[in-house]
Structure 1
Amino acid sequence: MKKQRGTPLITKILDAALMEITRVGPYDLAIEDVAKRADVNKTTIYRRWPTPQALVLSAFEHGSAKAPLPDTGSLREDVVEAVKLMREVCRSPAMLSLARMQLTGELTGELREWLISRTKDTDCDTLVMFQRAQARGELPTGSDIELVRDLVLGSAQYVLYFRDAELADHKLEQIIGMSLTGAGYMPAAADTQRT
């Protein structure tokens, strides 16, 4: 059997780390257990990640790899697609657990700082969707765009993280539709032609 190297090996180790995080949590991860699960020598892991904390951060970064946010020309469609991306990340039990820990305030140390930074980046990215929508006339002029974003995405995230990690497409679309209606959403011309 040929030894894995490079990206395939790194992916294998990070996937194994996410599975171990699911089992023991991010603060009790043992590199020896990840090595056993990944079927690699622990020195292979220590060469790249000298501490369990470094491995945890890399594993979460790997598990939450950012995809570009959609730009369909319709806020409703953009938000539906963005939440579907969130749903994909949450299919990993470790990533779902991380999201829940963030919302319940259980994160500390470097992991908390990493997640705060990551959330700020994501907030900036998602805000652009709502700014574009306001420029197209889909949201009333003068709307508090940050508040609208938080309410619309927050509603879907709450259901996704605490009620239904699978969140079927029809239910996801209902949540987003109701939230946008409350924000004064006016569908773009392209959106009305689809319905």
Structure 2
Amino acid sequence: MEERVVLAALQEYGRTGWSGFTMDAVARRAGVGKSTLYLRWPSKEVLIRYAIVQHSEPLTLTDNGSLREDIMALATSLMRYFLDPAGWASLRITMDEAAEHTDLDRVHAHLIAMHREAASTLFQRAIERGELTSDAPIRTITEALYGAVLMHILTLTTDERAAAVEHIDEDVAPIVELLLATIAAAASSTTDAV
């Protein structure tokens, strides 16, 4: 029952965002009584926090041996995450928190920390391998990667999003290649200037 409720909460939040998210709607979607929800989660804030934390595992990436392979792995994980109800709901939480106070600032902070840590680890390895300089604009590179993956997903229709799980590597490869070309060009122009 708990897993049904958690999934229903993620789907409902992903569909409506903060303003339309209600315990009634979650109970209907999960096929349980509203009183059952309130026994476990005293408010919609507590429920969505719980659901997001349960389904937003940290993005931990193994060392794939190169910046290209590490970025490819992160982009693939990101796309898979954003195609999942938890990822979609986390995107809505981020947008809602930016637009208005939602009482979800701790969830928002958890999501930001999870993503920053994964990217930071990836780029630190690249610096240690000599693939990036220590003054590389890591935050900008991270935002470019996240932004490109997210914009790609937002341009897909509902049917295309459902099918995208089958060919994630094909979808993220051009994004990764463009990002790597941009990093290489920036590094080259910095070297030429010196």
TM bucket, shorter chain: 0.7 to 0.9
Q: CA deviation at 1:97?
A: 5.5
Cα distance change of structure 1 residues 142 and 16 upon mapping to structure 2, 3 Å threshold: closer
Runs of 5+ consecutive residues of structure 2 not aligned to the other structure: 186-194
Q: 1:55 to 1:101 in 2, by over 3 A?
A: closer
Secondary structure of residue in 2 paired with 1:43: helix
For residues 128 and 14 of structure 2, the distance between their equivalents in structure 1, rounded to whole angstroms, comes to: 42
Q: In structure 1, which of residues 139, 149, 154 is the aligned counterpart of residue 132 of structure 2?
A: 139
Contact 1:17/1:55 (8 A) holds in 2: yes
Amino acid at match of 1:60: I
TM-score normalised to structure 2 length: 0.75
Quick check: 2:14–2:88 contact (8 Å CA) kept in 1?
Answer: no
Kept in 2, the 8 Å contact 1:90–1:96? The answer is: yes
Task: Name segments (4+ residues, structure 1) moved above 6 Å.
Answer: none
Distance 1:79 1:107, change over 3 A: farther
* Correspondence for 1:123: 116
User: What's the CA shift for 1:100?
Assistant: 5.4
Hey, what does 1:28 align to over in structure 2?
20
Give 1:64's aligned amino acid. S
What corresponds to 2:183 in structure 1? 183
Kindly indicate which of the two structures has a greater share of residues assigned to helix: 2
CA distance 1:56–1:27, change in 2 (3 Å):
farther
CA distance in 1, matches of 2:4, 2:140: 40
Work out the percentage of aligned pairs sharing the same amino acid: 26
5 Å-filtered alignment, 1:12-161, equals 12-92=4-84, 95-96=87-88, 98-99=90-91, 102=94, 105-160=98-153
